[in-house]
A and B are shown apart, each in its own frame.
Chain A
């Protein structure tokens, strides 16, 4: 008996495909902790876990896998996530980076999918740009609680599947210059924003479902672009109006030629010598230089 027998409808090769899949998870708090738990159960074999933070007592209302003992010990969130993974996938390949995602770029570049469960619009924007630059699908989840004056609070959120070339978070109107500016000026509700466990669970489960569709599709009507919005007061998750409008459209914000490392692309070419031969100059990559190039990136 195989532990994944009950999900064999995902395809005869699905177990192998999932084991070979590497997912980058940026943000392992309320949303990301749900995602990582589900991916482990699903059978994903590779993880790049990124979060600089340690769990504290205020995280224990929503961080799946985190215990009171972890909060007291100030355990790293990446360590909690890895423990959760190992509980069901002992042989998983896990790279844990207790730092910002900028410190994990080399490992994130080789991920098959990146899931962003981050707080800020700036980070979302940068992470999506990074994913597109390396032709990686990006799944974004986020939730918020808004005060409705005398009418209590509204819980809302979104799940967006952003594929290279297709509509992006800016196309969706989620990332805007106004929001980025407000955030930069710290006008936003930064810091102790209200967060609860169940909306994160809904959004994370939806994102994991989309990831499973990308990796091990079980039906033919697959969408290249998904923008779902969550209304926690009504208990609904439904397509945003822009989802249909933008389906099949290309993105004006991320030119397709913006791929790879600009430092490589814009190095100076070599020069031809008087005898017609080419001399290696700054910018030319010999085989040895390529090796140094990848070794430097590894560090």
Chain B
């Protein structure tokens, strides 16, 4: 079973533009992507459809990390997942080009908060995405009790089409 993450180029462009905005004190911005799911020919497709940035006031000052979300940011994300029954993916950007990977801090924090999304939307998969200017990579949890796994492939719908494998 492969996990394929799909998004339109228009959505990814909007996300990159938003994450590139400066913040008053955080070094980087973060947000959440909502997605639908479907099974297809032995794969699970994660189909991104909406992005919501973490609001300016919901960051906490913390010089040890690029961006620290406050409890209100998490609460809003949980509420979104619960009300809309969507698969939710945390997203941030490392900038640059090529297929990225999460930092040690990213991996630690993802493992802390992503499984919480199953409390409110247990029927979905949830995860985290890291972007560069031309690619992405990600982790996905299919079950809150199981370890996460890497997203196997990405597909960007636009003109031109782009797709790449990560595993």
Contact = CB atoms under 8 A, between A and B. Distances in A.
Interface in B102-138: 118-125
A270 B124 CA distance: 11
A294 B42 contact: yes
Interface residues of A, number: 53
Q: How large is the interface on B (under 10, 10 to 19, 20 to 34, 35 or more residues)?
A: 35 or more
Q: Which of B11, B42, B120 has the most CB of A within 10 A?
A: B42
A283 to B, nearest CB: 4
Contacts, number: 155
B35 interface: yes
Nearest to B146: A287
A9 to B, nearest CB: 15
Contacts of A264: 36-38, 123-124
Interface in A155-188: 163-165
Interface stretch (B44-52, B65-73, B91-99): B44-52
Contacts of B118: 270, 278, 284
B20 interface: no
Contacts of B48: 135, 259
B72 to A, nearest CB: 22
A278 B122 contact: yes
A280 interface: yes
B79 interface: no
A213 interface: yes
Interface stretch (B21-29, B54-62, B155-163): B155-163
Contact of A260 (B8, B38, B41, B155): B38
A260 B159 contact: no
Contacts of A284: 118, 122-123
Interface of A: 20, 106-107, 109-110, 112-113, 133-137, 163-165, 213-217, 222-224, 256-261, 264-270, 272, 278, 280-281, 283-287, 290-291, 293-298
21 contacts: A106-B40, A106-B41, A107-B41, A109-B40, A112-B161, A135-B157, A165-B11, A214-B159, A217-B159, A258-B36, A268-B123, A278-B122, A278-B144, A280-B122, A281-B122, A283-B122, A285-B122, A285-B143, A287-B142, A290-B142, A294-B40
Given A135-B157, A296-B39, 11 more contacts: A110-B43, A137-B157, A163-B158, A165-B10, A260-B45, A264-B36, A265-B85, A265-B123, A267-B123, A269-B82, A269-B121
Q: Which A-B residue pairs are the 5 nearest by beta carbons?
A: A260-B36, A109-B40, A267-B123, A297-B39, A259-B36
